[in-house]
Structure 1
Amino acid sequence: MVEARLKSVQCSSPAGLHRMAYKEWGDPANPRVLVCVHGVTRVAGDFDALARALSDHYRVVCPDVAGRGRSERLRDPGLYVVPQYVADMVTLIARVTANDEEGTVHWVGTSMGGLIGMILASFENSPIRRLVLNDIGPVLDPAAMARIGEYIGQDVRFPDFETGARFVKDVSSSFGPHSEDEWRKLAGDVLVQEPDGAWVRHYDIKLARPFAAITPERAQQDQAALWAAFDAIRCPTLLIRGELSDLLSRATAEEMARRGPKPQLAEIQGVGHAPTLMHAQQIAIVRNFLINNQT
């Protein structure tokens, strides 16, 4: 079975330096690079199935965004925001494309990872050549954002892995139907055991601070900036939406399909926020767009 190599890259922020961990799959000399970036409380392991499936074509790079998983936490929690993550990804891309004169990548981003990709793809001379946005757009439903912010900030400890795994399954029910083994995988990726034996979620709960600072005025400004970024994207784009998503409405997805890069739109039935891209049908949608449809 194809396995990942665990690596890291040093990034900078106004508060100092931090190391960002990442998984790398496939031929280390392959110049075709696919970067896969997870959602707000998830980790690189979310893309294990997708990475295995696409590592025959790409070198697949899956980072743990700062403050999650194996990556270091930021000294200033106020920096847990998309502009900092974009800067970190520019550093990562420079590392993994160091031997490629063009320095370009393809990108799959789930939720927060899609926002990061959206901003990066909007820049002039962006390294992103093909973009997959998984259940995310420029309009962020306030109720959904409040739900996510409240979930992030809960300092929950579990007496054993099984209790933690049930919690992860309950709060992740919008991911849609999965087997028990798949739920254990999804839980195992984001739970870690502390020295005292308790199990906790593998991220800095201070990630919640920027959510608490969002005002209605700030939300309107952010939404306008995200639409402007989306409209500036010029690369081929695929938008995946969970049929039952409370973060990306069908109306927003249809509006996105009419403007900016005019993305292809694929809707996953029976799934909310967000499709996990673990199942063969979902992987096939991504492969078809990234590989089979290239001209």
Structure 2
Amino acid sequence: MSLNEKIYNCIIIGSGPSGYSAAIYAARYDLNPIIIEGNQPGGQLTTTNNIDNYLGFPIGISGKYFMEKCKKQAERFNTIIVNKSVVKVILSNKKGGIHHIILEEKHFFKSRGLIIATGSSPKYLGIDKEKKFMGLGISFCATCDGFFHKEKNVAVIGGGDTALEDANYLSNICKKVYLIVRKNYFIASKILQNRILKKKNVIILFCSNVKQIIGDHFLEKIIVVNHKNKTINTISISGLFIAIGHIPNTYIFKNQLNLDERGYIIVNKGTTITSIPGVFAAGDVQDPIYRQAITSAGTGCMAALDLEKYLSLL
């Protein structure tokens, strides 16, 4: 019987911290998990130069190396890792039903249990050098990378809760924080607005956009244009934190799973249980709030435990 003819107990879509954590726990419960890596093996952490806030690594660790270690740990427990992407799923609404996971090149799997750990993708500005300098000055996570810009000048782009939370956090460790807001007002909560307005080292630039990123091997400066009065400013910074939102990677699950208005998978409170029996969601794909590696790994563990309990009751 070939792989795609057998009915499995645990297929995991996604290979970030939540996916590998789920695999390790599922393997220890003899669920023989299979991870389908997707088009970004290791997830977003592979674009982070250094992780300084994950428990157990006192001197920090590079995101790429951290994910390599997670992969090796999953393989140690005989997790099968498939280097392909999922293009379609057909989910069963019945308890104990079989879910079909269709991969590129007409490969497919059938499984009683499915853990979705596809994560989310940050929204980009869409300007030159933005992706080139990822991890070289440009980041989407202030709590992950802010420490490396201690006592330096940085900028945050965005006017929502995440942007203001990032600016507030960075203001406590950085010399200056330029807060670049496209609109002429904040969309963040009033409490965050009041907090940021009291910060003396936060410089707010309303009606502004970053038009150019300058640097040879890493970020050095940005050119900011005020689209209201047409003024242009060149700002020297070591870090640019983009906080204009994330898009959950849930496109293939639309019309099959319950999603919220932003596209995040809805799970039962305190669990990873979705609206479909035998389907569980872990990590950023169901978490629009925390989006940290350590919380993703925690929900990966929860998903494996929830799946094991589900299977034991069939």
**Structure having the higher Rg:** 2
More helix by share: 1
TM-score by length of 2: 0.29
TM-score by length of 1: 0.31
